[in-house]
Amino acid sequence: MAGSLFRLKSIDSLLESAKETGERTLKRTLGPGALIALGIGAIIGAGLFVRTADAIAQRAGPSVTLAFVLAAVACAFAGLCYAEFASMIPISGSAYTYSYATMGELVAWVIGWDLVLEYAVGAATVAIAWSEYANRVLQFVGMEIPYQWYHSPFERSPDGVSGIMNIPAVVILAILSGLLIRGISESAWVNNLIVILKVSIVLAVIFVGWGFINPANHTPFIPEATTYTTPEGVTHQYGGLMGIVGAAGVVFFAFIGFDAVSTAAQETKNPKRDMPIGILGSLVICTILYVLFSYVLSGVATVEDFRTQGREASVAFAISTYMTGYEWLSRLVTVAILAGFSSVILVMLLGQSRVFYSMSRDGLVPAVFSDIHPRFKTPWKSNMIFFVLTAIFGAFIPGDIVGEMTSIGTLFAFILVIAGVWIMRSRRPDVPRGFVVPALPLVAVLGIASCGLMIYGLGWTNWVRLAVWLVIGLVFYFGYSRSHSKLEGTA
């Protein structure tokens, strides 16, 4: 039994499957530009606005720019490893497929199940937040969605109105799921438009805000080490080295999403060349934008402003208060957040359906997840199933229930991918690689350590939630997947 749990899927069979054509294969239409846009679409969401404000107020002050650099370095370790794997094994399963080839079926199942937290649960959670921002945009033109129709039954307004269901969350999930069913090239085209919109607004804040920077707000650039207690009674290390490290843990979550690029490997024209460009290119572009944005924002307004304003409102407040004549830009920030949510949901739904497509081809989940539409060449039934699941979550469950489970699931996936590259470099150095991680032992050690440190920082409650989720997955594995695996009997 132990042998069957750790049976490996051979690299040779994976490479052969990547060459398959026919009714059950995905259509290759994506180039490097589309992949970079997918990465930016997944990375730049509301996290840029919300997390930056949190980090300034509670952790680092103006040195938040250094926190973004530190978080980017940690992500780069994982990004380099994803790039090597994607160029070596151009399969849509991402971390799941990489783990199957390096650490065996049980670990692959665990990571595939874990990715549901990042992609499906993440998409549903973002859809819940999307509905709130959609209501804010409607308020700009004098319209408003009644409270009960954009909140779950478990939520109640200050004046006693109970939620019924979150209709806007269901609507955006339906629209984007339908777009994914229609085709990857159409989805990429819409994503490109969204990326252009939100990046333009981010650039507008940077260029306009640069002229309103008050040098006094950047003095001292690294505040003296002390503590800050939030209105909710939570105490954080503020300023100094630990403040920067703590802020890096906060803003790290604004980088989540670049790994979803690797799930589109089987829909890429030249994955060995283009996947590393898409993964690393999107990371570099977003890091530059993040550092410049945080530098401008922390220079325009004071730390006290970010502490007294609600985290979602603080960016708009900074623009309205200090950037005279640019009230319109504060409204565009809300539009940018809404657009950012939309592209994040799109890429998360894409990633989820592609991971389960690969798992279905391996027999670990039912065959329905790998059914390809005869005309559109997309896993349409998988998209429909995940629409139903995410819509149920989005309509009836409060967004804060899952909290940071998405983040801990992502970090866990990063660790396995980093370890997998190290193992594969030792076990199969002969396999051609379109991209090679430099200084691998050092990069792997630093990558695993940095991700492990962030998992530690998320606290024991999130460890318990992850453990419970993985136990549920193991029940499914031993009840169905192990006996239905295409490798059954080969161990």
Model confidence pLDDT, tens digit, residues 334-378 = 888 788 888 888 888 988 888 888 899 889 999 999 898 888 888
Cβ contact 160:146 at 8 Å: no
Bridge partners for 30 per DSSP: 268
> What is the CB neighbour count within 10 angstroms for residue 7?
18
- Does 390 map to a domain? yes
pLDDT at 255: 81
Whether 421 is in a domain gets the answer: yes
* Residue 491 within any structural domain of the chain: no
Helix (H, G, I), strand (E, B) or coil at 412: helix
Please give the residue range of the domain that contains residue 72. Answer: 2-484
Nearest one of 130, 57, 78, 86 to 256, comparing CA atoms: 78
Q: What sections of 183-270 are H helices per DSSP?
A: 184-210, 240-251
Structural domain total, the chain? 1
Question: Could you read off the pLDDT of 428-464 as tens digits, one per residue?
Answer: 888 888 889 988 889 999 999 988 877 776 667 778 8
Greater pLDDT, 16 or 191: 191
Residues 1-21: tens digit of each pLDDT: 555 677 887 777 776 766 665
* Residue 198 belongs to a domain: yes
**Report for 309-313, 318-322, 405-409, 419-423: range of highest mean pLDDT:** 419-423
Cis peptide before 220 (omega within 30 of 0): yes
Does the pLDDT at position 333 exceed 60? yes
- Binned at pLDDT 50, 70 and 90, residue 311 comes out as low
Using a pLDDT cut of 70, give the percent of the chain over it: 92
Based on C-alpha coordinates, what's the Rg of the chain? 22
What is the helix, strand, coil percentage profile of the chain, to 5? Answer: 75, 5, 25
Does residue 348 sit within a domain? yes
Mean of all residue pLDDT scores within the chain: 83
Give, rounded to a whole angstrom, the gap between the first and last alpha carbons of the chain: 9
CATH of the domain at 244: 1.20.1740.10
Does 236 fall in a domain?
A: yes
Q: Is position 489 within any domain? A: no
Which SS3 state, helix, strand or coil, does residue 30 take? strand
pTM, whole model, 2 decimals?
Answer: 0.80
What confidence score (pLDDT) does residue 312 get? 52
Any domain includes 146: yes
Residue with tokens 């739904």: 349
Distance CA(340)–CA(457), nearest Å, equals 26
- Residue 21 gets which letter from DSSP? -
